Structure 1
Amino acid sequence: MRVTGARVDHVDLDGARRGLVLSLVDDEGRVGLGEATPLPGYSPESAEDDGRALAGLPGTLGPIEPPDGASAARAAPGAAAPAIHRALAPLSSRLRGAPAARYALETALLDLIGQRHGVPVSACLGGHPPHAEIQVNGLLTTSVALPEMIERARALAARGVAAIKVKLRSRGEDGFARDLEALRALRREHPAVELRLDANAAWSLDEAPRRLGLLAPLRPRFVEQPVAPELLHHLGACEVPWAADESLAVEGMPERLLEAEGCAAFILKPAMLGLLRAHELGREAQARGLGAVVTHLFDGPVALAAACELALSLPRPPLACGLDAHAGLEAWPAVRVPQLREGGRVAASELPGLGIRTWTA
């Protein structure tokens, strides 16, 4: 298979954010889609960086040699990955530090391979039929007033969402005390919901164990990224388990965290890690008995569909994932994400590749 054409469409979103949709055309006329939508203030690169990384295609791609003979669905797990690594090898220097551009390229190539074999991206990644169904988690934040947070939680429960993640936005001891009271009110209102918290790396190594202890009566499943990314492996076992998010992008840190006491789960953001790297880390985490959660970065529809395929591809069903539709999708051209279902669920699209055949910028 050869890539004979490439196009990058730019989508201006709300504020300073911009998305890029990559279309790769193969020698039989199939079109594979990928998306790079870095999040300002969070992603290590800008949309301009991603645009430069995606320039000059297809001439800079290496040969693409996906597995032949058996379909990708019957191939060994990860069978498509070596072919994509070889194809992207000439671009290694320009993709370094541009994970969203890598995500776009890997997604588009997997989309082409899936279409060629007549199987979804999840089967190309995982080598097995995708999981029947995956739940999504809802998202709340303590930066809104308590009545509004409670009302949003009720709306999520009414949709059938059984896991809620709360971002703890307040800072300082007074802020943590306010967050704690809000969480107590949320737990009283929803005693059976699976509660997850995200500290956004805001706590110090000294204060994190104490704060986790104060949160223990609320029975959170885990707290994401309690401390700075480069310090997380030093935290150790606490009264509440913790999960790794931003730390997974630090070189050498995932390997340390796989061995760390207290680590309960890996939070996989393919827009920050690349699609193949996120899949690799998810497999390793599950092999060690850790949970895996796949989440978007408030991306557009193409990247969201790819993240859903990642969740469907893991060896075991992941925990409820951060793949719910979000308000930012309204700024994009109307494109249906075929993996999203009503009631807070992700399911296989039963379509080849990514399942999105029409894209209009």
Structure 2
Amino acid sequence: MTSPTTLCFSYTKRTLNFRFEAGTSRGVLKTREVYWIKALDSANRDIVGWGEAAPLVKLSPDHREDFEEILKKTLVSLNEVTFELEEKAILNQLEDLVPFDLPSIRFGLETALLDLACGGKKRLFSNRFFDAQEGIPINGLIWMGDRDFMLEQIDQKLSEGFDCIKMKIGAIDFEQEIALLQYIRSRFTKDQIVLRVDANGAFSPKDALKKLGRLAELDIQSIEQPIRAGQFQEMKALCEATPLPIALDEELIGVAEKKTLLDTVRPQHIILKPTLLGGILETREWVKLAEERSIGWWMTSALESNIGLNAISQLASALATKIPQGLGTGKLYHNNLASPLEIESGKIFYKTEKSWGEPV
């Protein structure tokens, strides 16, 4: 057991620039603000822990105009706190210290303190992704845009060796989206290429079931969030009648009564974004409850920089995931932090021979 100690916290803000206009059903993203949290023991300043707080625009409970001020006040208050640098103690203490409605801050602090506790090497806990450089299968993400842009992305992902493709839908004409999915299916069977779609709540409850039927004809593995979050009875009815598996995503954000949601809606899958759900402890609880109910799950990033992506990858690995995760966002930005994270043949790897950039 480590001796309790007081720590020093600070942060660095960076505006990340997308390589392209990233289209979603909630709008187009061109930049992304992230806050890298630094934790160090004043008695040993050579060891530094780094985490990332990155609230997602229009989605994170803590996306607010005064976020930076809230982050600053939170870190100042923690400078007076004594921490025991051991995994369980860190997670439990931060659950008490950081409110549930500040999920990205809690996740960033969890990551920074776990990194510090493990020697400041960007390793958070035992996991084969870091320890054995074991690759994690991921889906190739197809962003919304016009038909030609989406078709170009599809061809690129297929040529790069992805065997799981996830396409965001809901921005262009539905028939055009069906045609793009048919293009993939005309070349590859469901045993060769797994197809996922993400509607980000774009369908209405009235027409959702009909559209799910069209998608099911193309052997789609799952659809994320077909209707907008908060329509529990409509979503429950959809999950009962759906011809293809439904995965809840935005539906989980800000939910404290996890059992009630899962038992009411009974989805086939859930999608876990630690930045939006409140971090490592909350994500582990979602996984436990899902597995107890035979509900599938996988993890995805919420467009974090490589610091956050590394943490989520290690968490997915530690939870012994076997199916493709949504962890292919590291190349989205012109000015992402240099890191050992690399994608090869549809998997993300931690290449120990490569170095991290300095978060400044």
- TM-score range for the pair, normalised by the shorter chain length: 0.7 to 0.9
Question: What SS does the corresponding residue of 2:170 show, helix, strand or coil?
Answer: coil
CA distance in 1, matches of 2:291, 2:51: 26
The aligned amino acid for 1:28 is N
CA distance in 2, matches of 1:234, 1:359: 49
Is 2:289 the counterpart of 1:271? no
Alignment of 1:1-361 (within 5 A): 1-14=4-17, 17-26=32-41, 27-29=43-45, 30-46=47-63, 49-56=66-73, 57=75, 59-60=77-78, 62-67=81-86, 80-87=87-94, 89-92=96-99, 96-115=100-119, 120-123=123-126, 132-145=134-147, 147-170=148-171, 175-191=173-189, 192-231=192-231, 232-237=235-240, 238-252=242-256, 254-259=258-263, 263-276=267-280, 277-314=282-319, 316-332=320-336, 334-336=337-339, 338-347=340-349, 359-361=358-360
CA distance in 1, matches of 2:35, 2:290: 30
Alpha-carbon distance, 1:141 to partner: 3.6
Alpha-carbon distance, 1:193 to partner: 0.9
Work out the number of aligned pairs and report it. 333
Question: Residue 293 of structure 1 contacts residue 320 of structure 1 at CA under 8 Å; is this kept in 2?
Answer: yes
Question: What SS does the corresponding residue of 1:13 show, helix, strand or coil?
Answer: strand
CA distance in 1, matches of 2:98, 2:217: 50
- Going from structure 1 to structure 2, the CA distance change for 1:36 and 1:244 (only over 3 Å counts) comes to same
Q: What per-residue deviation string (whole Å, max 9, x for no partner) do you get for residues 269-325 of structure 1?
A: 1121122212321233234333222111221111111111121121x3142111114
CA distance in 2, matches of 1:347, 1:51: 32
CA distance in 1, matches of 2:203, 2:64: 30
The runs of 5 or more residues in structure 1 that have no matched partner are 68-79
Question: Residue 101 of structure 2 contacts residue 254 of structure 2 at CA under 8 Å; is this kept in 1?
Answer: no
Q: What per-residue deviation string (whole Å, max 9, x for no partner) do you get for residues 211-242 of structure 1?
A: 21121111111100011212233423211110
- Going from structure 1 to structure 2, the CA distance change for 1:348 and 1:50 (only over 3 Å counts) comes to same
Greater strand share, structure number: 2
CA distance in 2, matches of 1:9, 1:104: 12
Q: What per-residue deviation string (whole Å, max 9, x for no partner) do you get for residues 166-192 of structure 1?
A: 111237xxx323322232223213333
Question: Residue 20 of structure 1 contacts residue 47 of structure 1 at CA under 8 Å; is this kept in 2?
Answer: no
The aligned amino acid for 1:201 is G
Match of 2:26 in 1: none
Q: What per-residue deviation string (whole Å, max 9, x for no partner) do you get for residues 75-99 of structure 1?
A: xxxxx2443231452343xxx4332
The aligned amino acid for 1:34 is G
Question: What SS does the corresponding residue of 2:283 show, helix, strand or coil?
Answer: helix
CA distance in 2, matches of 1:164, 1:226: 17
Question: What SS does the corresponding residue of 1:239 show, helix, strand or coil?
Answer: coil
CA distance in 1, matches of 2:351, 2:314: 9
Question: What SS does the corresponding residue of 2:119 show, helix, strand or coil?
Answer: helix
Alpha-carbon distance, 1:131 to partner: 9.1
CA distance in 1, matches of 2:356, 2:151: 39
Alpha-carbon distance, 1:154 to partner: 2.3
- Going from structure 1 to structure 2, the CA distance change for 1:347 and 1:290 (only over 3 Å counts) comes to farther
- Going from structure 1 to structure 2, the CA distance change for 1:214 and 1:346 (only over 3 Å counts) comes to same
Alpha-carbon distance, 1:115 to partner: 2.5
In the superposition, the TM-score normalised over structure 2's length comes to 0.81
Question: What SS does the corresponding residue of 1:296 show, helix, strand or coil?
Answer: coil
Alpha-carbon distance, 1:132 to partner: 3.5
Q: What per-residue deviation string (whole Å, max 9, x for no partner) do you get for residues 34-79 of structure 1?
A: 1122232333334754322322435436432244xxxxxxxxxxxx
Question: Residue 239 of structure 2 contacts residue 268 of structure 2 at CA under 8 Å; is this kept in 1?
Answer: no
Question: What SS does the corresponding residue of 2:83 show, helix, strand or coil?
Answer: coil
Question: Residue 291 of structure 1 contacts residue 319 of structure 1 at CA under 8 Å; is this kept in 2?
Answer: no
Question: What SS does the corresponding residue of 1:214 show, helix, strand or coil?
Answer: helix
Q: What per-residue deviation string (whole Å, max 9, x for no partner) do you get for residues 134-184 of structure 1?
A: 201011145321x4433322221222211010111237xxx3233222322
